[in-house]
Amino acid sequence: MKRFSKLSIPYLIWMSLLVLIPIAILIIMAFQETKGIKIFEGKLTFNNFKVLVDDYFIESLWLSFLYSGISTVCCIFIAYPIAYIIARSHFNNRFLVLCFLVLPMWSNTLLRTKAIASLFMEGNIISSMLAKIGLELPTLDLYGKPLGVIIGMVSMYLPFMILPIYTVLEKIDKSLYDASDDLGANTFKTFWKVTFPLSLKGIVTGIILVFLPCATGFGIAEGLGESGLIGTFIQQNFGNNITYGVGALVSIVILIIITASLFIVGKVDKEGETLL
């Protein structure tokens, strides 16, 4: 094994350049009150920490977690049956079916967000087309509404839930179903006592893959008219306000929350097989 240890050097360099150093800069900035990046000029200050008790910050953080929590749960309920049906079906080309499900991921996220947003507004392409043949649809007045944001998040991140669940379901040895049946479990019991526990790892992976980008991203929410989330909050500090110190601090707080939650997941799942 020692011979291969040299192969890890590029990754170590990569990691330190693109992960460790930026985080170090973030930490330094969190203790400075500067406009823009002036790492070596600013003075040590704790003024930025005031933001952590700011109502607006707490509200955004809470809203972000709420929205992404709801979206993640929706994703599980939608993705599990889809993954289950594909995994247990006898399609010759299950991979192709999966590809079709994942296909929307290949188009630009921003574009998709804009497209969904326009569907939520008055006079969108579908309703105007339907109007031409005399069908009047009530307007989906979802732009800027919580439901709209959640629909956006779910549609965007659903594939990230389907894929890991499908992968674990597909890997389950078929003879286990026979064994369960043989030992007196009907289809329903087999699902709850064999299939579901064995697919938990896929669900946890899916939760990580869906919840984190939902909670921290700003593109989707912003695009759908919701600008009260934590992603937007950070973006504003780095954008228009150029209060980098505040932005850096908030980023670090979120980083800590995420790391802590991953750590907890790792503790619960002792084998560490959850993360693909």
- Interface with another protein (CB under 8 A): 173-176, 178-186, 189, 193-194, 197-198
Comparing CB distances to another protein, the nearer of 164 and 231 is 164
Closest approach, Cβ 192 to another protein, in A, equals 11
Comparing CB distances to another protein, the nearer of 170 and 181 is 181
Q: Tokens 């939760």: give the residue.
A: 207
What gap in Å lies between CA 232 and CA 197, rounded to an integer? 37
Closest approach, Cβ 132 to another protein, in A, equals 52
What gap in Å lies between CA 179 and CA 177, rounded to an integer? 5
Comparing CB distances to another protein, the nearer of 203 and 249 is 203
Closest approach, Cβ 199 to another protein, in A, equals 10
| 119 Cβ contact partners less than 8 Å away, ≥ 6 residues apart | 125, 126, 140
Phi-psi label, residue 184: left if phi above 0, alpha if psi -120 to 50, beta otherwise: left
Comparing CB distances to another protein, the nearer of 136 and 271 is 271
Comparing CB distances to another protein, the nearer of 130 and 183 is 183
3-state secondary structure of 243: strand
| 211 Cβ contact partners less than 8 Å away, ≥ 6 residues apart | 68, 69, 71, 72
Closest approach, Cβ 267 to another protein, in A, equals 18
Closest approach, Cβ 92 to another protein, in A, equals 14
